[in-house]
Structure 1
Amino acid sequence: SGLSPESGGTVLRLTLAYDGTDFHGWQVQPGGLRTVQGEIIRALERLVPLDSIPPGAGRTDAGVHASGQVSSLCVASAGLVARVKRALPRMMPPDVAIREVAVAQPGFHARFSARARRYRYRFCTSRDPFLRRNHLLLTAHPDLEAMRAALVPLVGDHDCTSLCRTASLEPGKTLCRIQRAELVFDGETGYLEIQADRFLHSMVRIVVGTLLEVGRGRRGVNTFTELIEARDRRQAGATAPPHGLCLEEVIYDQPADAGQES
């Protein structure tokens, strides 16, 4: 029989990584499009009874990668726990890896229990075929000092309407607590790392697109202060391509049960 977390089963926390290049995002899509969630469901259905779709902590878009995505599901018995731990990692396609299957606290939910998410957007300034799937190629070295100055006012509690895909805006759900925004460059590669309690649709990619305009001298260092006040997506920069973005980590108050880890 199918189970929900309230029905007394064991909640499992799955940590997974994937190359998003050939996926239409995390979330199951109609019409048979290939998604990460779809691959997880297809494998789990061969192992355990599923009565609900295993959620993802971050609903990554098409082409976006993850090294620390988290999903959760409820199973009925210790035997099924062992079965999932043993079999699920081996059932994944080459572009998905199950990093860990751990027993979670009762009531754990991959998305709703998350306290923060950490994303990294990677850049490179020279052509490198080994980086092309997960780094955005910049044609010129940007002004890093200006970009770092522009990021300072982004940290804090903000209405991020200007930084959300317009079609996905939900009134009253635009507040985000941005805990960290750091730009790191080392030679010809670099990244923006950003952590917040929640992110709106395409938010990191819009931040990156806007930040790159600062780096090219097209916008001033006060641009994010102005955008937060404007609450208007049209005033922000272009949405950066998906392939540079990676969900690095999902942060929870409760660690997975240390005594039960795989």
Structure 2
Amino acid sequence: MHDTLRLRLDIAYDGTDFHGWARQQGGLRTVQQTIEDALTLVLRTEAHLTVAGRTDAGVHASGQVAHVDVPAVALDQRSIEGDPGRLVRRLAKLLPEDVRVFAVAEAPPAFDARFSALTRSYVYRVTTHPAGALPTRARDTAVWPKPVDLQAVQACADALVGLNNFAAFCRPKEHATTIRDVHSFAWSEVEPQLFEARITADAFCWNMVRALTATCLAVGEGRRAPEWPRELLRRDARAPEVPLAPARGLTLVEVAYPRDDALAARAEETRAMRAG
């Protein structure tokens, strides 16, 4: 057994009452801080998580992935007996109801939750009903104030698929590329006046999904012309006229990874792209 083990954690959370994923100064409640504190308590060693995608305040996850490196001896406790899967029950007793770790497993040393990922998929849920969201779904369903045409919304989404510079849709981050490859962007009306969008890309920059979603809705309500998204893709800086859809409608639902023997190569490739 290795001196240090890399563990993969599959995570879900309701982001409503968190100040995003990333640990912050000042004692603000974050998902990372909450899980790391619980892991540190259970494993009796300091835990530092690397996550597939940092979500903003109010954004949810049902398919978040993170990894953590721990000493092998930390799993030798009687309640764990060397089986990382036993951590699921231990963590469930410590974590609050709005965050759960659903699986823990040993991962190959080359696995990197962030850089080994092939794609990330989000679902955005929004209602245009004048009464607003169903009360039992109010925490994960955004409200858009105007009716939208699904065909126009989808046509806008289609224009945003592909390898592009999405600078117009991203909050700027120093020395970070805004070139992303959006693999798919599909809208559906799951109930009358209730829409869901599923978008998959190699990665997303800061605020990108919420900006893309709001762009489609603005076109769908007729406030913006159908050619607007293509015009935005020609920009090389954040477009202030692009709105942000409310955070509550957004959920990270899946992170996909290559086979184990391709993890290291994928991580190296991603690091090179992100540095470009």
Per the shorter chain, which TM-score range? 0.7 to 0.9
Q: How does 1:183-198 map to 2 (within 5 A)?
A: 183-186=187-190, 187-198=192-203
Count residues with an aligned counterpart.
Answer: 247
1:35 lines up with 2:35 in the alignment? no
- TM-score normalised to structure 1 length: 0.88
> What are structure 1's unaligned runs of at least 5 residues?
1-6, 256-262
**C-alpha distance in 1, partners of 2:102/2:128?**
31
Structure 1 residues 198, 32: closer, same or farther in 2, change over 3 A?
same
Q: Name the structure 2 match of 1:217.
A: 222
Q: How does 1:112-261 map to 2 (within 5 A)?
A: 112-126=115-129, 127=132, 128-166=134-172, 169-171=173-175, 173-186=177-190, 187-234=192-239, 236-254=241-259
Query: Cα deviations across residues 147-175 of structure 1 (Å, max 9, x unaligned)?
Result: 11111121111111111013xx3345111
Q: 2:62 aligns with which of 46, 62, 67?
A: 67
**C-alpha distance in 2, partners of 1:108/1:88?**
22
Q: Name the structure 2 match of 1:14.
A: 9
Q: SS in structure 2 opposite 1:45?
A: helix
Q: Name the structure 2 match of 1:4.
A: none
Cα RMSD between the aligned structures? Answer: 1.9
**C-alpha distance in 2, partners of 1:153/1:125?**
23
Letter in structure 1 aligned against 2:153: M
Moved more, 85-94 or 205-214: 85-94
Identity %, equivalent residues: 40
Moved more, 58-67 or 130-139: 130-139
Superposition misfits of 4+ residues, deviation over 4 angstroms: 49-52
Query: Cα deviations across residues 31-84 of structure 1 (Å, max 9, x unaligned)?
Result: 000000000111011122545621111100001000011111123325365353
Q: Name the structure 1 match of 2:53.
A: 58
